[in-house]
C-alpha cells in the first residue's frame, strides 16, 4: 500500500524586522528583507548554512533572502514596514525560499498559518492566501557553496491572521484554558508594537491597532541620552546588543558609562505610551468585556515586561499584576501558536 505523503504544519510570523518560522523542532529567525543579487567572493564564507546563504530564483532572476540580503545586497527591500506587509509578491517569494529550508525531500505538502502585522489590509491578506495556496516550483541556491536545489511544494491550505493571535492561541492552549478569555495581547517588536483585543473569542478590529513605540524607540532614546551626556554619537543599532544582554555599563569613546538611569527613564516613557494606547483601544470594547489577561510578547517583553506588569495593574486594566503574563518564548510565541493552529487543520 502506498504511504500517503505527510503534510507539514508550519507556523510563520511575518514581522517587520524578522520572520519567525516553526515546524516541528525546526525554529528559524530570518531578517524580513529580500534584496538584489551581488555576486562575488563566494566559497570563502565560514558560514555555509542554507539559512544564511539563501538565494531564490524568481523567473530567471536571483533574489537574496534574509540574512544574505541584509549583509550583501545593494538594494534591500523590507517585507513589512509602518506596521503593514509591504508587497505580497515579495513576501510569497521569501516564504517559498523559507519553506525550502524545512523540506527533507523534493516534494512536500504544507498547511501554513501565518501572522501578518496588524495594520495589514484584508485585501493584502486575501491576496497572500491566494498566492500561497496551490503548487509551486522552487529553485534555490546556496551563495556560499553554489549548490542548487529544485523542489515542488503543495500548499494545501493557508491561513492569515494578525500576528499577536498566535501568542493568544499558544497561551490559552498552554494554560489548558478551553473557553475564550477576554484579553489584550501586546506584541512589542523591533519597529512596531501591535495590540490585539480579544472579546468572547473574537478579534476586535476597532479595539486593536499598532504603535511605532517599540524596542527601536528605546535604542533611539538611549542613543540621544548618551549623546547629550558624552557628546559622542552612538548608533541605536549598536545599543541593541547591550539591551539584550541587560548591560548596565557600556563603552562610549573608550570610556565606560552607566546607562541604568537613562534606560529606566526611556523604558518608563515608552511603556506608558503603550499602556495609554491600550487604554484608549479598550474604550472600543462592549461594556460587558472583562479583561482577564494581558499577554505581553515579542522581544520587547524582555525589556518592558516587568514595568508593564505594574503599569497595567496601576491603570486598572487588570485586577492583579499576575494577570499580566509573558509566554515562555516571547519572541517565537506567535509562530508557535500559528503552528498549533495549522496542525489543527491537517487532514485527518
The residue ranges that bind ligand ATP (CB under 6 A) are 15-18, 189-192, 214-215, 240, 243-244, 298-300, 302-303, 331
Q: Which of 138, 184, 194 is nearest to 17 (CA)?
A: 194
Q: Which of 95, 104, 89 is nearest to 151 (CA)?
A: 104
The listed partner (Mg ion, ligand ATP, none) that binds 103, CB under 5 to 8 Å by sort, is none
The listed partner (ligand ATP, Mg ion, none) that binds 192, CB under 5 to 8 Å by sort, is ligand ATP
189 binds Mg ion (CB under 5 A): yes
The listed partner (Mg ion, ligand ATP, none) that binds 278, CB under 5 to 8 Å by sort, is none
Instruction: Give the DSSP H/E element, type plus range, for residue 15.
Output: none
83 binds Mg ion (CB under 5 A): no
Residue 107: CB atoms within 10 Å: 11
Is 151 in a helix, a strand, or coil? strand
Whole-angstrom distance, CA of residue 205 vs CA of residue 108? 35
Residue closer to Mg ion (CB basis): 55 or 335: 335
Residue closer to Mg ion (CB basis): 15 or 209: 15
Q: Could you tell me how many residues make up the chain?
A: 348
Can you name the residues that pair with 155 across neighbouring β-strands? Answer: 110, 134
Backbone angles phi, psi at 221, to 5 degrees: -65, -40
Q: Which of 253, 269, 252 is nearest to 261 (CA)?
A: 269
The listed partner (Mg ion, ligand ATP, none) that binds 260, CB under 5 to 8 Å by sort, is none
Whole-angstrom distance, CA of residue 332 vs CA of residue 330? 6
Whole-angstrom distance, CA of residue 50 vs CA of residue 145? 9
Residue closer to ligand ATP (CB basis): 32 or 53: 32
Is 261 in a helix, a strand, or coil? helix
Residue closer to ligand ATP (CB basis): 35 or 78: 78
DSSP designation for 137: E
To Mg ion, the closest distance from the beta carbon of 106 in angstroms equals 32
Instruction: Give the DSSP H/E element, type plus range, for residue 43.
Output: none
- One character per residue 263-302, x = contact with Mg ion (rule: CB under 5 A): -----------------------------------x----
Residue closer to ligand ATP (CB basis): 108 or 194: 194
Residue 137: CB atoms within 10 Å: 10
Binding residue (CB under 5 A) for Mg ion from 15, 31, 305, 327: 15
The listed partner (Mg ion, ligand ATP, none) that binds 112, CB under 5 to 8 Å by sort, is none
To ligand ATP, the closest distance from the beta carbon of 80 in angstroms equals 6
The listed partner (Mg ion, ligand ATP, none) that binds 221, CB under 5 to 8 Å by sort, is none
To ligand ATP, the closest distance from the beta carbon of 277 in angstroms equals 15
Residue closer to Mg ion (CB basis): 143 or 339: 339
Q: Which of 251, 343, 264, 244 is nearest to 311 (CA)?
A: 264
Residue 97: CB atoms within 10 Å: 25
The listed partner (ligand ATP, Mg ion, none) that binds 243, CB under 5 to 8 Å by sort, is ligand ATP
Is 330 in a helix, a strand, or coil? coil
Stretch that binds Mg ion, among 8-16, 74-82, 106-114, 211-219 (CB under 5 A): 8-16
115 binds Mg ion (CB under 5 A): no
Stretch that binds Mg ion, among 12-20, 24-32, 197-205, 228-236 (CB under 5 A): 12-20
The footprint of Mg ion (CB under 5 A) covers: 15, 189, 298
Amino acid at each position: 500500500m502506498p504511504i500517503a505523503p505527510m503534510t507539514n504544519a508550519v507556523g510563520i510570523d511575518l514581522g517587520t524586522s524578522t520572520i519567525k518560522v516553526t515546524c516541528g523542532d525546526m525554529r528559524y529567525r530570518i531578517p524580513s528583507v529580500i534584496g538584489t543579487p551581488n555576486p562575488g567572493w563566494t566559497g570563502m564564507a565560514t558560514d555555509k548554512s542554507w539559512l544564511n546563504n539563501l538565494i531564490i530564483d524568481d523567473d530567471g532572476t536571483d533574489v537574496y533572502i534574509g540574512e544574505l540580503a541584509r549583509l550583501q545586497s545593494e538594494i534591500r527591500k523590507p517585507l513589512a514596514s509602518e506596521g503593514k506587509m509591504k508587497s505580497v509578491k515579495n513576501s510569497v517569494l521569501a516564504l517559498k525560499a523559507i519553506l525550502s529550508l524545512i523540506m527533507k525531500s523534493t516534494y512536500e505538502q504544507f498547511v501554513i498559518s501565518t501572522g501578518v502585522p496588524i495594520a495589514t489590509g484584508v485585501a493584502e491578506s486575501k491576496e497572500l492566501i491566494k498566492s500561497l495556496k496551490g503548487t509551486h516550483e522552487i529553485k534555490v541556491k546556496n551563495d556560499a557553496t553554489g549548490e542548487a536545489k529544485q523542489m515542488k511544494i503543495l500548499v494545501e491550505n493557508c491561513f492569515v491572521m494578525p500576528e499577536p493571535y498566535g501568542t493568544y492561541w499558544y497561551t490559552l492552549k498552554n494554560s489548558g484554558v478551553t473557553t475564550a478569555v477576554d484579553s489584550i495581547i501586546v506584541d512589542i517588536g523591533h519597529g512596531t508594537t501591535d495590540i490585539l483585543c480579544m472579546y468572547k473569542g473574537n478579534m476586535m478590529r476597532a479595539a486593536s491597532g499598532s504603535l511605532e513605540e517599540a524596542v527601536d524607540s528605546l535604542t533611539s532614546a538611549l542613543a540621544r541620552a548618551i549623546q547629550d551626556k558624552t557628546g559622542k554619537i552612538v548608533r541605536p543599532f549598536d545599543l541593541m546588543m547591550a539591551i539584550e544582554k541587560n548591560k548596565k555599563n557600556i563603552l562610549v569613546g573608550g570610556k565606560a558609562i552607566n546607562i541604568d538611569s537613562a534606560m529606566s527613564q526611556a523604558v518608563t516613557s515608552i511603556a506608558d505610551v503603550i499602556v495609554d494606547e491600550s487604554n484608549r483601544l479598550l474604550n472600543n470594547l462592549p461594556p460587558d468585556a472583562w479583561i482577564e489577561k494581558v499577554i505581553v510578547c515579542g522581544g520587547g517583553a524582555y525589556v518592558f515586561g516587568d514595568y508593564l506588569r505594574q503599569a497595567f495593574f496601576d491603570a486598572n486594566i487588570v485586577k492583579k499584576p499576575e494577570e499580566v503574563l509573558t509566554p515562555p518564548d516571547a519572541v517565537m510565541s506567535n509562530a508557535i501558536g500559528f503552528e498549533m493552529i495549522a496542525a489543527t487543520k491537517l487532514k485527518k
